[in-house]
Structure 1
């Protein structure tokens, strides 16, 4: 009786998973981009490398999606990237590292900045990319309404969204903002703080939503009071304005949703003759290049933007070449960077 005999496996039990391009890459000891070059008969592959890849393909009995192979000659090898029209660290870093990953895979990137988040403006940008015959569209989401608009369009090509969300799906990739926020708040609680305020980001930002959710859940897990957050717009100016009015009497810590607003909070607290961290502890999010050089050096949460850029490209390649293999991606982890802006309350 063979392994694939339904009497042995059970009629409703799925058979062995078909090999995909990443299985071939692992067996051949090369990148998935190299496997793609061999499959598409592109140049710049050493004969010995090509032989290893072809051997791995044969050994795994790998067969690319017929529909995807039929599209090879019609591809533009260009990906459309819709990025927020801001210079914020997160979207800018994601765009940069995605461009690097696309270049490694021999794809070009056509980037458009989204300045108008109303449905007609979003549709116009998508239509512009479709007219340029891009092979896929990547959307860096900083407003959940934009994601809803794009999802409602009949694109006819693969689509990948970069969006922090409690809901996962095969077309969503993200960094784990939620667990990063919980780690930041847990650090403050372990230092002895029982009153942790939150300076949140914009209400419709997926990142801000997940960081606020993490803050709330970590406080609730320790049976600590949740005070309604102050809400800024990611800028140092908004952090400064909120820092001037935060009620920071008694042992208090502040978890700020990004480092730019943390800079404003630190400045406002200093003007109020409050010492950080002696009077108030502050923890940010993002790990700006300047974070370690602030006064005091900022404890914050670092995000793996390079890893995210590679993960986006991996999703795009799978969506183009093997759409039937699409699965959910686990959000990439963050790292708490402990510096001098948070300590035990006096």
Structure 2
């Protein structure tokens, strides 16, 4: 196979039996190529080892085919799952991904400036960083924000967390519990606030006053500490804001000599890969991270290509297991 650096569009054109302009259109994803010709050109590219020169293409088209992603942290399970889904979806469309984490400084305006300096075609903002994005969304940068209230400056893709919270509480109430305690996520998280709103709504619909929620930081350790306090107050049903905190609650119950679900029932949120392996297997609200990543990238790429996509809210699913 020829060396990648020596393969030109002319060589691809000769192999495919088309003009150089047709090869250029295929390389730039132009819709003005019929499918059979595109397939022939792509086969010739693969046989010769041709790779489009990203910088040269950016000069021709004004696009870098690079997306930015901004997150507060990638240490949480939800954010790491979203990063994986976004990266796979972007790669399938021929886009590179530049990732910035805000850390303790949380300077999202600086992050946006850095992304624009790198010439990204658009950016995605995840979860805990969305509140900062609403404060500092820059003009001229296409943004898709995951889990946020509607905003005319960007497109929103998310999970209906409130619906998931309502489903979790309704499920626990049907098991005969007089009330449901909530182990909530961080105060600055939109997703945590929506899950809490769903919890309150379901209790109110049942005519039950909501007990004071406990607040964790998404970690199993925080779930353990807060669940200890709930169990000491006699809680028999706990809706945890994510599966990691639910894991902490399961350990707190075991350490207190309580059987799950005989003495206390626990529901999580997310349905992480290991949730079915907890002891006992965890009832949880599943959000589809693969679909979230796909729809987020799909909408951002559509915006880059001239559309202005609508917001999207995906429905979660309650997955019932032995913890309830």
TM-score, with normalisation over the residues of structure 2?
0.80
CA shift digits 1:289-331 (9 cap, x unpaired): 21111111110011111111111111112211124x43232x1
2:176 pairs with 1:176: no
Match of 2:193 among 185, 204, 209: 209
- Alignment partner, residue 80 of structure 1: 68
Deviates more, 1:187-196 or 1:205-214: 187-196
For residues 203 and 148 of structure 2, the distance between their equivalents in structure 1, rounded to whole angstroms, comes to 20
CA shift digits 1:6-53 (9 cap, x unpaired): xxxxxxxxxxxxxxxxxxxxxxxxxxxx9x824276x9x532779xxx
Match of 2:109 among 106, 113, 123: 123
CA distance 1:281–1:123, change in 2 (3 Å): same
CA distance 1:232–1:40, change in 2 (3 Å): farther
Match of 1:39 among 9, 24, 31: 31
2:274 pairs with 1:282: no
Partners of 2:242 and 2:268 within 8 A in 1: yes
- Alignment partner, residue 341 of structure 1: 323
Superposed CA RMSD: 2.5
Secondary structure of 1:46's partner? helix
- Alignment partner, residue 29 of structure 1: none
- Alignment partner, residue 141 of structure 1: 127
For residues 103 and 233 of structure 2, the distance between their equivalents in structure 1, rounded to whole angstroms, comes to 40
Deviation of 1:168 after TM superposition, in Å, equals 6.4
CA distance 1:279–1:158, change in 2 (3 Å): same
Q: Which has the higher contact order (CA 8 A, sep 6+)?
A: 1
For residues 132 and 71 of structure 2, the distance between their equivalents in structure 1, rounded to whole angstroms, comes to 11
For residues 307 and 278 of structure 1, the distance between their equivalents in structure 2, rounded to whole angstroms, comes to 35
Match of 1:332 among 309, 314, 317: 314
CA distance 1:189–1:240, change in 2 (3 Å): same
For residues 80 and 264 of structure 1, the distance between their equivalents in structure 2, rounded to whole angstroms, comes to 34
For residues 84 and 136 of structure 2, the distance between their equivalents in structure 1, rounded to whole angstroms, comes to 22
Match of 1:101 among 89, 111, 116: 89
Deviation of 1:191 after TM superposition, in Å, equals 1.5
TM-score, with normalisation over the residues of structure 1?
0.75
Partners of 2:231 and 2:253 within 8 A in 1: no
Aligned residues: 280
2:182 pairs with 1:192: no
CA distance 1:190–1:49, change in 2 (3 Å): farther
For residues 328 and 238 of structure 1, the distance between their equivalents in structure 2, rounded to whole angstroms, comes to 33
Aligned runs of 1:249-268 on 2, under 5 Å? 252-268=236-252
